[in-house]
Amino acid sequence: MELLNTLVEKGLRRELPTREEALAVLATSDDDLLDVVAAAGKVRRQWFGRRVKLNYLVNLKSGLCPEDCSYCSQRLGSKAEILKYTWLKPEDASRAAAAGVAGGAKRVCLVASGRGPTDRDVERVSETISAIKEQNEGVEVCACLGLLTDGQAGRLREAGADAYNHNLNTSEATYGDICTTHDFGDRVETVRQAQAAGMSACSGLIAGMGESDADLVDVVFALRELDPDSVPVNFLIPFEGTPLAKEWNLTPQRALRILAMTRFVCPDVEVRLAGGREVHLRSMQPLALHLVNSLFLGDYLTSEGQAGKDDLAMIADAGFEVEGTDTTTLPGHRVQGGVCGDGGCGDAEAGGCHSSGEVPEQAASSDGAPSDEVRRGLVSVRRRGAGTELPPNA
């Protein structure tokens, strides 16, 4: 297919595809899917080999957010029966982080619900970063605390934060359809503040919220322009009790095409397989490793993920290797070009995010997709790890 040859050549040169080419990737047929994966896989291997970076989430403060993001189980008015707790103590967060590091995670992502941190919150997180780095030599720490105000990014960087995450989520044109308490520009500004402070910027998207192909291309092109080091691709989990609970728009094939398009547009950036991979890719997750070079290990913010040991087995079985702490994630030209750190982290929430570890047998509906009843059964609220007395799943 001439389109794929062109995209591979552009990806190897770090050249931006046209919008028409990106849209064409999303429009390819299921018959061409393996060709699409193979083509994007060439670009992935050029810049990242067969390495997979592991990241681990610690939810520092869960629920009770005043923002109204429609996809999120922690949103204002959410009826999702998630864990709700206030700030973890630094020592408790450090213990949770250590479990992820012991499981192979190179980066710990510290996330807190809310519009943005107060100055006291920044102090809390700074203390937590110190505790984690003191106990886990060489670990990278990324913060995800919402919208930043003047000076906060610099304080987090001084405290040892290597990266900051704030996703764009969807296109600017449709952002108002999923959130009214802040806008697309607010998110862009926070990412720029993180970059200006010397942190590695991480910003991605959520697919499956009813957006068009044009919306997906728009947000990925906006990310390319913003130039974060890491682009997490989340797939919406329609969490019961949220406004998007009935939005089941994705198939494994469409999810793979979205990942491939993202890789072609962002060839030398850490593309992370984030929220919703277990629910929407299911048994096709190993194919996604040919497109992404990063994923989250174990559980997520408010939902359970695939067991950490199963993640490691999947990576090994697919012929990939876990990236070590002595390896720089990003290609040398990005690091040498003044990019700080080597990749960020996604919020991996996407409206609740992830399945339980065991994926039940799929019951097919008339169009070959799992029935809504079966798909809802794939979403499991997190009841272990941070904020509980039970050990985490890492």
Q: Is 46 exposed, middle or buried (0-12, 13-18, 19+ CB in 10 A)?
A: middle
353 annotated among ligand-binding-site residues: no
3 state SS of 50: coil
Residues 339 and 227: their CA atoms lie apart, in Å, by: 10
Element (H, E) at 336: helix 332-336
Which tokens sit at 132? 């984690």
Token pair of 250, please? 């994705």
Say how far apart CA 47 and CA 68 lie, in whole Å: 38
CA 78 to CA 243: how far, in whole Å?
A: 8
The whole-angstrom separation of Cα 302 and Cα 20 is 37
Please give the single-letter amino acid code of residue 131: A
Is 95 annotated in a binding site? The answer is no
Whether 109 has a binding-site annotation, put simply, is yes
Q: With contact defined as beta carbons under 8 Å apart, do 40 and 290 qualify?
A: yes
CA-to-CA separations, 239 to 186, 353, 387, in angstroms, rounded: 25, 8, 20
Q: Rounded to whole angstroms, how far apart are CA atoms 35 and 304?
A: 32
Rounded Cα distance, 68 and 74, in Å: 9
Residues ≥6 apart with Cβ < 8 Å to 170: 177, 178, 205, 206, 209, 211, 215, 219
Q: Is 179 annotated as a binding residue?
A: no
Listed residue (148, 71, 105, 133) closest to 303, CA to CA: 71
Annotated binding-site residue? 202: yes
144 marked among binding-site residues: no
345 is in an annotated binding site: no
Indicate the annotated binding residues for [2Fe-2S] cluster: 109, 142, 202, 272
Indicate the annotated binding residues: 65, 69, 72, 109, 142, 202, 272
Indicate the annotated binding residues for [4Fe-4S] cluster: 65, 69, 72
